[in-house]
Amino acid sequence: VNIPASYLNIVKKEIESFCKKLTSSPAELYDPMRYMLSMEGKRLRPILLLLSCKTFNGKLKPVMPAALAVEVFHSFTLMHDDITDNAPLRRNKPSVHVKWNTNIALLSGDAMMIKAYEELAKTPKPYLHQIFTVFNDMALKVCEGQQMDMNYENRERVSISDYLDMIKLKTAALFAASLQMGAILGGASAKDDNSMRMFGENIGMLFQLQDDILDVFGKQEKVGKQTGGDIIQNKKTFLLVKALELAKGKDLTELKSLLSSKTIKPSDKVKRVTAIYEKVDVLKHSKAQMEGYYKAAIKAVAGIKSPEIKILSGLVSQLMSREI
């Protein structure tokens, strides 16, 4: 993704300075935070927040705490999700619960969420209550979505609509809140901050659909996660739910038996499920779905004119074909 360098650099510097200012003791609490935040991320959410603020000619300095808060919160969710999802790798490095241990990942994650709130509390006072409320609402949605995601692993029947409900919470809520908070802090009208929120939500949806694709079809060196991790965990991704809809006869039987097998070698499971995905061409359907979210995102902000909206729209179209 070709993110405007100036924004990326601003965010990188903020994160660096945040990490430097972190207390060092107890090390088990703060080192994992630094570790997570120093991984090369896209920093997409804070950048979107800043661009949203700039859309309404807002100043960037007062928005920095909120931008940092969304990135730190996002990073906290990764730390805890890696525990629950049993994920060994994150951006090509061992996950916190592997590098340290589960108890440390749990507690350091808790502290990291609090650090996100600590940043958020630096928001200019006239906006604090509204921003705090948007943030809390988002944070709960993210947890609800993650819980649904976990529940779906053991549920046989998950429809495309169930799946979309889940990712709207798990992933899109944070994108939506980032864009909305940027707009609020930039001084947007209630109508415009709602448009930006809708823009963010649609970005989030297509982002997650692409994430599902990358988990299976991405290159591990680039994506930095175990290839096929979702397949191993029986995650009800768009690909799997769609494939269960599309596959017939022998293919469907095989797919179901792969999902229920407790003895199959993980790498074999990934290979054979992927083969079925290719046979029924789930990718085509994913891409069509993403196209729909792309159009909805662009439509949401059609009434707002600014150079940043152009940058944002360009970003979204890049997200559709991102490789990391």
Which residues of the shown chain bind its own copies in the complex (CB under 8 A)? 25-26, 28-29, 80, 83-84, 103-104, 106-111, 113-115, 117-118, 121, 125, 128-129, 132-133, 136-137, 139-140, 143-144, 146-148, 150-151
Measured from the CB atom, the residue of 55 and 233 that comes closer to its own copies is 233
CB-nearer residue toward its own copies: 113 or 324: 113
CB atoms within 10 A of CB 24: 9
CB of 154 to its own copies, least distance (A): 11
When the beta carbons of 123 and 286 are compared against its own copies, the nearer one is 123
Element (H, E) at 219: none
Q: Which two tokens stand for residue 265?
A: 């070698």
Specify whether the CB–CB gap between 139 and 77 falls below 8 A: no
Segment (H or E) for 306:
none
Name the amino acid, one letter, at 91: R
Which is nearer to its own copies, 140 or 275 (by Cβ)? 140
Closest CA to 230 of 204, 202, 243, 211: 211
- Shortest distance in whole angstroms from residue 76 CB to its own copies: 8
Q: Cα(18)–Cα(287) distance, rounded to whole angstroms? A: 38
For the CB of residue 282, give the shortest distance to its own copies in the complex, in Å.
Answer: 26
- In 3D, which of 186, 199, 201 has the Cα closest to residue 137? 201
Minimum distance from CB of 176 to its own copies (Å)? 16
Give me the least distance between CB of 108 and its own copies, in Å please.
8
What is the per-residue burial (b if ≥16 Cβ within 10 Å, else e) of 138-149?
A: bbebbeebbebb
Q: Which is nearer to its own copies, 78 or 301 (CB)?
A: 78
